[in-house]
């Protein structure tokens, strides 16, 4: 039989939406070629570009004599299984994002270039369970494999690759074949693979935890989706760990996604204390080498637990048994630029393709998730009590209209802070705005200090005595006099620095810490703050969003929400949902120990229905009415959305691009889709570019998506597309 020439369809990290065809080079051993290998190819003018073989066939759209040969195969084993490549292809289709970029974003940085993976790999080999029992003579067609298996069986302990090679020269391909057959596996000296030690939980699960765990364990073999709905501190993590226990005991792996701020050393330590197994971590704090090693450990099956932030959703697992995503509503799971995927949605897709159960945990589930519960696609598990018997906090709406203020803090809040400090408790004040003041302006002529690139006010940072644009990062010398009329300038609007200043004057004895992005830039800063809070060293902490989530502060009895009104009147249809989530998260910091907590909410709009519904009836009730609103206006989750985002130095270019695109899409779809645009983005100008959007909406996801590829092809060819920076955002999460 004469084989047809093989054609390799290769993914390359480029914005072009396609695979590239190559022929094998002469040195390639054809039957070792498989999808999932990296190859070096020449691409355009570059001679040595890394690619990943995505599929192999005998067909090419190019004439065969035009096809180039690859330079060489980089790895001697597969970086992705066919199954994982299929997942990446699915994602590329769904997000309409170039396949090359998708495949490469699933690789650790080190492997996106063509350095070999051997230096990150384990150099020892040992038998698997299957390999121990396997009759070596049964491998008839490959005598070398049979010999090697026999050798390892005689030897009984792992053998070093170099050592094997001195006995059986050029043994690597045979070893890899044995690995592929599942007979041998890579191993380290003290192979943690074989030691699985699980320590018992220090607690007896409460009633809710027990029934949630039972529900999960009863359907651990079906690909069920669970919403584990419980207040912060209700013991969700204990439920995860109990479920993980049975998955790991069965020899399978668990993948856990945490929000960016949630992946703290303490959280990782909790898993390490409970599970003495190989744990792979995937987040930006690791060195590239470590990340690569952990990535390989997940892929080989050696790591039993994989913990990571958003991008960890792309890590391949050899033997997945359970997927978990904590704080599923968190915005950090949606990538906001480039490949704009949602890690939550991808994890759920992955779970159904892999037939693995998935747990979504949250105190404030997203409306999408609550909707899926309502449709009975997800099972709703509720933890209704706080685990350690702590009581839910008491709320007090504080109407600050016309009240005596110290900067942003009302006299009543000051009195309350004093009371809690006297009782030797801690206080947390929340304001989601860094810096000292938000506006610098002239009272006599109206001049404002604005970033010219964004046309938005500068924030004054007193600590560095500079003006900072929070949208593009530009900083500028602070000025005290109006450049137009020389009058002294006024500072308006408060940030966390201002609260710190006010409280330092009012409570000179107290230890006060401001915890925001400015004070936590150094590597261990956040960690040090958290320790000081735990040990009681800090009396008052002033924080932004980063302090609002996930942390456990048993001695905080008072939480003050300094400016609850932000977000009440936004035009983003998700604003109320986000505000409610933040509100609940912030309040969740209070009274998590044995002491009762109070939440004080400062507002100029005490009669706003959002507060009444949230405080009187709770988050779930509030969401029911939000869902009703969305249903009436046919907004997600009652419809599907895609944004076309465009930005350009010239506002007209961006608008025209959107207008042309709208016309083309209407033509393609016979006006079947709902299109709105050009709509200015919430931040209409950023870094010197004007930003507009086209909102594409439909109740039929499939037929909407089916039209987009043709449309994109047209857009890419248009002249304006070169002048405008544009991108597609599928299932967008914000209008900024
Ligand atoms: P969540 O993940 O919902 O925020 P955690 O699992 O972190 O909640 O639990 C909050 C606190 O309560 C932790 O300190 C945890 O150790 C403790 N805890 C959890 N379950 C129990 C239990 N059944 N009995 C006593 N304490 C518990
Ligand atoms: Zn002036
Ligand atoms: Zn700016």
Asked whether 206 lines ligand 1 (CB < 6 A), one says yes
Ligand nearest to the CA of 359: 1
What is the number of the ligand 1 atom nearest to the C-alpha of 232? 4
User: Residue 39: is its pLDDT beyond 70?
Assistant: yes
Q: What are the start-end ranges of the H helices in 384-432? A: 411-422
CATH 3.30.70.360 domain range(s) in the chain:
640-730
For residue 105, what are the contacts with CB-CB under 8 A and spacing of at least 6? Answer: 311, 314, 338, 339
Ligand nearest to the CA of 242: 1
Give the pTM.
0.85
> Which residue, among 87, 92, 95, 77, has the nearest Cα to 35 in the 3D structure?
77
Q: At what angle do helices 236-249 and 207-218 cross, to 10 degrees?
A: 40
Confidence of residue 139 (pLDDT cuts 50, 70, 90): confident
What digits encode the pLDDT tens for the residues 511-523?
Answer: 999 999 899 888 7
Second-level CATH architecture of 7-115: 3-Layer(aba) Sandwich (3.40)
What's the mean pLDDT when you consider all of the chain? Answer: 89
Q: What is the DSSP letter of 617?
A: I
Read off the pLDDT of each residue in 241-257 and give the average, rounded to a whole number. 95
pLDDT at 212: 96
pLDDT at 353: 94
Q: Of 115-124, 204-213, 259-268, give the range with the top mean pLDDT.
A: 204-213
Please tell me the distance between residue 727's alpha carbon and the centre of ligand 3 in angstroms. Answer: 21
End-to-end CA distance of the chain: 60
Q: How far lies 109's CA from each of 122, 420, 477, 645, in Å? A: 19, 49, 38, 28
Confidence of residue 586 (pLDDT cuts 50, 70, 90): confident
User: Residue 18: is its pLDDT beyond 70?
Assistant: yes
Confidence of residue 37 (pLDDT cuts 50, 70, 90): very high
Report which of residues 417 and 171 the model is more confident about: 417
Asked whether 274 lines ligand 1 (CB < 6 A), one says no
pLDDT at 734: 83
Which structure tokens are listed for 696? 């594409």
**Which of 230, 381, 388 is the pocket-test mutation for ligand 1 (most atoms within 8 Å of CB)?**
388
User: Residue 181: is its pLDDT beyond 90?
Assistant: no
Q: What is the DSSP letter of 481?
A: B
Please tell me the distance between residue 447's alpha carbon and the centre of ligand 2 in angstroms. Answer: 5
User: Which residues are paired to 640 by β-bridges?
Assistant: 698
pLDDT at 386: 63
Read off the pLDDT of each residue in 660-689 and give the average, rounded to a whole number. 90
CA of residue 384 relative to chain centroid, distance: 27
Q: Report the distance separating Cα 548 and Cα 128, nearest Å.
A: 46
pLDDT at 1: 45
Instruction: Write out the residues surrounding ion ligand 2, Cβ under 5 A.
Output: 442, 445, 447, 482, 484-485, 487
What percentage of the chain reaches a pLDDT higher than 70?
Answer: 96
Ligand nearest to the CA of 455: 3
Q: What is the CATH number of domain 640-730?
A: 3.30.70.360
Q: At what angle do helices 172-180 and 143-155 cross, to 10 degrees?
A: 80
Q: Which residue has the tokens 């704090």?
A: 285
What is the number of the ligand 1 atom nearest to the C-alpha of 234? 3
pLDDT at 591: 59
What is the number of the ligand 1 atom nearest to the C-alpha of 550? 4
Q: Report the distance separating Cα 175 and Cα 585, nearest Å.
A: 52
pLDDT at 260: 82
User: Residue 264: is its pLDDT beyond 90?
Assistant: no
Read off the pLDDT of each residue in 483-490 and give the average, rounded to a whole number. 93
What digits encode the pLDDT tens for the residues 594-640?
Answer: 678 899 999 999 998 888 888 888 888 899 989 999 999 889 999 99
Which structure tokens are listed for 298? 């997940």
Read off the pLDDT of each residue in 110-139 and give the average, rounded to a whole number. 83
Please tell me the distance between residue 713's alpha carbon and the centre of ligand 1 in angstroms. Answer: 52
Confidence of residue 97 (pLDDT cuts 50, 70, 90): very high
Lowest-pLDDT range of 314-318, 553-557, 568-572, 698-702: 568-572
Domain 197-335+342-383 indexed as CATH 3.40.50.300: yes
Ligand nearest to the CA of 452: 3
Asked whether 205 lines ligand 1 (CB < 6 A), one says yes
User: Residue 191: is its pLDDT beyond 70?
Assistant: no
Taking CA atoms only, the protein residue closest to ligand 1 atom 20 is 235
User: Residue 548: is its pLDDT beyond 80?
Assistant: no
User: Residue 660: is its pLDDT beyond 90?
Assistant: yes
Asked whether 324 lines ligand 1 (CB < 6 A), one says no
**Which of 233, 587, 589 is the pocket-test mutation for ligand 1 (most atoms within 8 Å of CB)?**
233
pLDDT at 289: 84
pLDDT at 387: 55
Lowest-pLDDT range of 425-429, 578-582, 645-649: 578-582
Lowest-pLDDT range of 148-162, 222-236, 357-371, 601-615: 148-162
Read off the pLDDT of each residue in 164-187 and give the average, rounded to a whole number. 83
Lowest-pLDDT range of 70-84, 116-130, 711-725: 116-130
pLDDT at 41: 95
Please tell me the distance between residue 468's alpha carbon and the centre of ligand 3 in angstroms. Answer: 8
What digits encode the pLDDT tens for the residues 267-283?
Answer: 888 999 999 998 999 98
Q: Report the distance separating Cα 273 and Cα 238, nearest Å.
A: 12
CATH 3.40.1440.60 domain range(s) in the chain:
7-115
Lowest-pLDDT range of 70-74, 120-124, 290-294, 349-353: 120-124
pLDDT at 27: 77
Fold of 390-434+496-628: Rossmann fold (3.40.50)
Please tell me the distance between residue 285's alpha carbon and the centre of ligand 1 in angstroms. Answer: 26
Asked whether 237 lines ligand 1 (CB < 6 A), one says yes
Q: Report the distance separating Cα 413 and Cα 397, nearest Å.
A: 11
CA atoms within 13 A on the CB side of 199: 11
CATH 3.40.50.300 domain range(s) in the chain:
197-335+342-383, 390-434+496-628
The two beta strands, 275-276 and 437-441, are unpaired
pLDDT at 366: 95
């Amino acid at each position: 039989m004469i084989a047809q020439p093989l054609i390799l369809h290769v993914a390359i990290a480029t914005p072009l939406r396609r695979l590239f065809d190559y022929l094998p080079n002469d040195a390639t051993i054809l039957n070792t070629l498989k999808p999932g290998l990296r190859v070096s190819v020449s691409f355009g003018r570059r001679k040595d570009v890394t690619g990943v073989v995505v599929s192999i066939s005998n067909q090419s759209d190019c004439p065969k004599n035009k096809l180039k040969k690859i330079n060489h195969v980089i790895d001697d084993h597969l970086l992705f299984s066919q199954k994982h490549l299929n997942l990446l292809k699915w994602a590329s289709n769904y997000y309409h994002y170039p396949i090359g970029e998708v495949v490469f974003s699933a690789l650790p940085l080190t492997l996106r270039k063509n350095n070999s993976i051997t230096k990150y790999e384990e150099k020892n080999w040992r038998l698997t369970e299957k390999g121990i029992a396997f009759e070596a003579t049964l491998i008839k067609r490959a005598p070398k494999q049979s010999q090697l298996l026999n050798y390892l069986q005689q030897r009984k302990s792992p053998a070093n690759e170099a050592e094997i090679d001195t006995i059986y020269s050029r043994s690597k391909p045979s070893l890899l074949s044995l690995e592929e057959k599942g007979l041998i596996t890579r191993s380290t000296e003290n192979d943690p693979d074989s030691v699985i030690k699980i320590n018992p939980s220090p607690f007896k699960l409460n009633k809710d935890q027990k029934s949630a765990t039972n529900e999960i364990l009863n359907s651990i073999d079906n690909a069920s989706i669970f919403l584990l709905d419980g207040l912060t501190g209700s013991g969700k993590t204990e439920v995860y760990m109990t479920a993980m226990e049975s998955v790991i005991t069965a020899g399978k792996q668990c993948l856990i996604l945490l929000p960016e701020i949630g992946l703290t050393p303490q959280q990782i330590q909790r898993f390490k204390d409970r599970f003495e197994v190989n744990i792979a971590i995937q987040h930006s704090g690791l060195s590239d080498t470590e990340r690569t090693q952990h990535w390989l450990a997940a892929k080989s099956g050696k790591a039993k637990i994989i913990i990571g932030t958003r991008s960890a959703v792309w890590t391949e697992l050899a033997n997945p048994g359970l997927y978990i995503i904590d704080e599923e509503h968190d915005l950090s799971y949606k990538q906001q630029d480039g490949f704009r995927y949602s890690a939550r949605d991808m994890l759920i897709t992955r779970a159904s393709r892999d037939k693995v159960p998935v747990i979504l945990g949250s105190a404030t589930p997203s409306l999408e998730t609550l909707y899926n519960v309502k449709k009975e696609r997800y099972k709703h598990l509720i933890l209704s009590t706080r685990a350690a018997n702590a009581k839910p906090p008491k709320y007090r709406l504080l109407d600050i209209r016309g009240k005596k203020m110290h900067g942003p803090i009302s006299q009543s809040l000051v009195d309350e802070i004093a009371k809690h400090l006297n009782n030797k408790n801690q206080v947390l004040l929340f304001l989601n705005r860094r810096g000292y003041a938000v506006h610098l302006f002239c009272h006599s002529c109206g001049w404002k200090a604005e970033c010219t690139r964004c046309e938005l006010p500068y924030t004054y940072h007193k600590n560095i005595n500079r003006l900072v644009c929070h949208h593009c990062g530009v900083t500028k010398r602070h000025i005290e006099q109006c450049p137009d009329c020389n009058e002294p300038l006024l500072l308006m609007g408060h940030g966390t620095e201002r609260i710190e200043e006010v409280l330092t004057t009012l409570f000179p004895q107290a230890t006060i810490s401001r915890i925001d992005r400015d004070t936590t830039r150094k590597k261990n800063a956040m960690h040090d703050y958290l320790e000081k809070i735990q040990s009681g060293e800090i009396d008052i902490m002033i924080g932004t969003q980063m302090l609002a989530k996930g942390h456990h502060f048993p001695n905080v009895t008072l939480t003050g929400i300094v400016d609850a009104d932000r977000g009440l009147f936004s035009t983003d249809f998700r604003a109320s949902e986000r505000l409610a989530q933040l509100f609940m998260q912030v309040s969740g910091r209070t009274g998590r120990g044995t002491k009762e907590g109070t939440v004080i909410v400062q507002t100029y709009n005490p009669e706003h229905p959002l507060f009444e519904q949230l405080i009187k009836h709770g988050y779930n009730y509030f969401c029911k009415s939000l869902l009703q609103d969305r249903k009436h206006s046919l907004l997600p989750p009652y419809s599907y959305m895609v944004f076309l985002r465009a930005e350009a130095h010239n506002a007209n270019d961006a608008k025209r691009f959107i207008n042309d695109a709208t016309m083309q899409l209407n033509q393609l779809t016979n006006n079947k889709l709902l299109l709105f645009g050009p709509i200015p983005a919430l931040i209409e100008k950023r870094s010197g570019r004007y930003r507009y959007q086209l909102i594409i909406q439909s109740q039929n996801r499939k037929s909407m998506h089916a039209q987009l590829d043709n449309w994109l092809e047209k857009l890419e060819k248009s002249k304006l597309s070169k002048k405008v920076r544009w991108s597609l955002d599928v299932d967008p999460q914000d209008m900024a």
